[in-house]
Structure 1
Amino acid sequence: MNDNPASGANRQVGTSPYGPEDQIGRLNLMTPESRQAVMSRVDASQLFDLSVEYFIGMPSWQAIGDPPYQFWMTHSPHGTEVEGWLGIPAELTKYISYSGDSVLMYTHTGTHIDTLNHYGYHGKVYNNFTEREHLGSRHWMVNGADKFPPIAARAVLLDFPALRGVDVLPASYGITPDDVDECLAAEGLEIQEGDVVLIRTGRMRYWPEKEAWGDNPPGINRAAAVHLVNQGAMIVGSDTSCLEQAPANDEDNFTPVHTYLLAEAGAPIIEALNLEELAAAKVYESAFLAANLRLRGATGAPLRPWAFPLRQD
């Protein structure tokens, strides 16, 4: 291990303030009272879908061998008629026109949420669960996507291209705490405890061009992630493939933001958000609603998020 106490190699996973059995981290900040507070201000006349479409050939994380999105028919009307189906007469299968299909993909494909077992330190994940004791042959027994509740919370959009007067932030641009504070001041907002913070870099303008959207994305650095959590962020999401500045500016951690948010702070991450319509409408404060697939033990899961503007009472 690196002997430098400031080195990322010496960081440790966080211990939950909600007890030794906690598996959702900062999602505990979401309460019946907080949901009521945000839902009571919803302007339901506008709805913004923040997800991307899934399709064969879509951009996805394949750099270290994870599978691309695959989709195929398992049953088609004519095929079912030709093959026969459970002994049912062909004339019956012909008129019902039965179709079915199947999907194969990496769980971090498209608009998705990262769970608290996705990253850790030294064989441990958030709240001191260990690989030795809590990882089965198929999946983690703790901190998985099945533990996350549906999300209903206030969201703050930080529109950095609008702040800088550009369409898209430059490749590998590192968003700092000063950038965060400047953007909040320009929008006249403050982050409140339990907020979902949405980071717009403009990269979604390139979707679905794989290289333009995915390579060397701009994003927050570790200091900005710490700053957001200290201000109250419950979840941090972005319109890029990895939320954080890439390549990272940390010499001994190639994912310093992921490891900080997930392993230390217990703050879930959302990636591949489509924030373009929300930004075009200048809706910087919204009600954020979403639910992920409850994939037992999964390190990530597809997410369908949407946002409603908030009335200014």
Structure 2
Amino acid sequence: MTKSNFTSVLTLIAVMGTLTFTSVYADQSKVGKSPWGPDDEIGRLNLMTEASKASILSRISGGDVYDLSVEYFMGMPGWFPAGDPRYTFWMTHTPQGTVNSDPMNVGKEMNEHVSYSGSAISMYTHTGTHIDALNHFGLDGKIYNGFDADKDLGDRGWNKTGAETIPPIVARGVLIDVAADQGVEVLPPNFRIGKKEIQSALKSQKITLEPGDVVLIRTGKMVNYKNTEAYLEAPAGLGMTGARYLVEQGAMVIGGDNLSLEAFPSEIEGNYLPVHTYLLAQHGIPIMELVNLEKLSQDKTYQFAFIGGSLKLRGADAAPMRPIAIPIK
């Protein structure tokens, strides 16, 4: 049986208080079991500790604070092929409207003096800069750590691994600027980022990955973000050899500037989203998408303190977030 028929799973070995990551191969049809126990719902986010957070925060050098999120606007790019709703924004109250309708029953004179604006939004949870919860993709009705849709999914979302379980993330962040390393502004259509492309970029950047890193991969696609059609057309993305390599290096979270992280078409027969199931369902590694990496790339800021919190949407399979990056010494 060849490696293409397998995916690598995590072996955690405690050696002198540190975690060493090695690679073994298991049937790709099975979800992973957490080394943190049968009740674990956050997977590799367990690699964050008080010590690891204090360590990275102590290395902050000041200077620029990079906003890694995108703007939300009507007509913005999103995942539409499965029929999910596009981002929609509307005003629920306007200054002149309140004068005419008096929704608070305070009278015309008060409404003319106190201007009232209100708004609402509707969107798919995987819209804009967001993080995928571990229940987003599974295998044969099960998700990471063996939680089962028959028992753990209710009318109001998953009772396990929902977006509300994702803790605030404070860790070392690493930019892997594959587009820059390949000498292009944007990687070619459907370009598959494998182990060799990741290793080449890391070598050029003089960066070594460490267990517990938030790894962010730049394809350059974000330069087209304001043009929805161009942004969504045949994006480059992560391939299986690249995903396996990052897992073996101990990545805690893996993200990219594209939608939906991985390259298409699938390179695994019988699985149309093999990178998603490999990371989420087998290894408990959250995925981030539509991360704005352009300013980090321009400034050649390859390592930083990554700080990000997502909305605590109970039972949801993803949540919007607004992460920041602060350079470190």
Is the pair's TM-score, using the shorter chain for normalization, greater than 0.5? Answer: yes
1:98 pairs with 94, 108, 116, which one? 116
What amino acid is aligned across from residue 260 of structure 2 in structure 1?
A: C
What amino acid is aligned across from residue 56 of structure 1 in structure 2?
A: M
User: Which deviates the most, 105-114 or 87-96?
Assistant: 87-96
Structure 1 CA distance for aligned equivalents of residues 81 and 179 of structure 2 = 27
**DSSP-derived class of the 1:211 partner:** helix
1:260 pairs with 267, 275, 278, which one? 278
- Equivalences for residues 239-250 of structure 1 within 5 A: 239-250=257-268
- Say if 1:159 and 1:201, in contact at 8 Å, map to a contact too: yes
- Equivalences for residues 57-72 of structure 1 within 5 A: 57-72=75-90
Structure 1 residue 196: Cα displacement: 0.4
- Say if 1:216 and 1:247, in contact at 8 Å, map to a contact too: no
Structure 2 residue aligned with 1:209:
227
Structure 1 residue 211: Cα displacement: 2.0
- Say if 1:195 and 1:235, in contact at 8 Å, map to a contact too: yes
Structure 2 residue aligned with 1:117:
135
Structure 1 residue aligned with 2:192:
174
Larger strand proportion of the pair: 2
**DSSP-derived class of the 1:233 partner:** coil
Q: Any idea what the Cα deviations from partners look like across 1:169-217, whole Å, max 9, x if unmatched?
A: 1111111112111211111111101000010011111112122111221
Structure 1 residue aligned with 2:251:
233
Structure 1 residue 138: Cα displacement: 2.2
Structure 1 residue aligned with 2:46:
28
Structure 1 residue 223: Cα displacement: 2.0
User: Which deviates the most, 112-121 or 78-87?
Assistant: 78-87
Structure 1 residue 168: Cα displacement: 1.0
- Equivalences for residues 74-153 of structure 1 within 5 A: 74-153=92-171
Structure 2 CA distance for aligned equivalents of residues 137 and 294 of structure 1 = 18
What amino acid is aligned across from residue 6 of structure 1 in structure 2?
A: N
**DSSP-derived class of the 2:125 partner:** coil
What residue ranges of structure 2 are gaps of 5+ in the alignment? 8-26
- 2:58 is aligned with 1:40: yes
Structure 2 CA distance for aligned equivalents of residues 133 and 260 of structure 1 = 22
- 2:26 is aligned with 1:6: no
Structure 1 CA distance for aligned equivalents of residues 104 and 91 of structure 2 = 18
Q: How many positions carry a matched residue from both structures? A: 307
What amino acid is aligned across from residue 84 of structure 2 in structure 1?
A: D
Structure 1 residue aligned with 2:213:
195
**DSSP-derived class of the 1:124 partner:** coil
- Say if 1:177 and 1:224, in contact at 8 Å, map to a contact too: yes
What amino acid is aligned across from residue 307 of structure 2 in structure 1?
A: L
Structure 1 CA distance for aligned equivalents of residues 36 and 255 of structure 2 = 23
Structure 2 CA distance for aligned equivalents of residues 168 and 188 of structure 1 = 22
**DSSP-derived class of the 1:97 partner:** coil
Structure 2 CA distance for aligned equivalents of residues 177 and 161 of structure 1 = 14
Structure 2 residue aligned with 1:304:
322
Structure 1 CA distance for aligned equivalents of residues 103 and 201 of structure 2 = 60
What amino acid is aligned across from residue 179 of structure 2 in structure 1?
A: P
What amino acid is aligned across from residue 256 of structure 1 in structure 2?
A: P
What amino acid is aligned across from residue 162 of structure 2 in structure 1?
A: G
Q: Any idea what the Cα deviations from partners look like across 1:87-108, whole Å, max 9, x if unmatched?
A: 3222222211111110000000
Over aligned residues, Cα RMSD in angstroms? 1.4
Structure 2 CA distance for aligned equivalents of residues 6 and 174 of structure 1 = 18
What amino acid is aligned across from residue 72 of structure 1 in structure 2?
A: W
- Say if 1:7 and 1:252, in contact at 8 Å, map to a contact too: no
Structure 2 CA distance for aligned equivalents of residues 130 and 93 of structure 1 = 53
Structure 1 residue aligned with 2:300:
282
Structure 1 residue 251: Cα displacement: 2.3
Structure 1 CA distance for aligned equivalents of residues 199 and 103 of structure 2 = 62
Q: Any idea what the Cα deviations from partners look like across 1:5-50, whole Å, max 9, x if unmatched?
A: 9378951111111111111100000111111111101122111111
Q: Any idea what the Cα deviations from partners look like across 1:42-93, whole Å, max 9, x if unmatched?
A: 1221111111000001011111100000000111112112112243222222
1:219 pairs with 215, 237, 240, which one? 237
Moved runs in structure 1, 4+ residues, more than 6 A?
A: none
Structure 1 residue 233: Cα displacement: 0.3
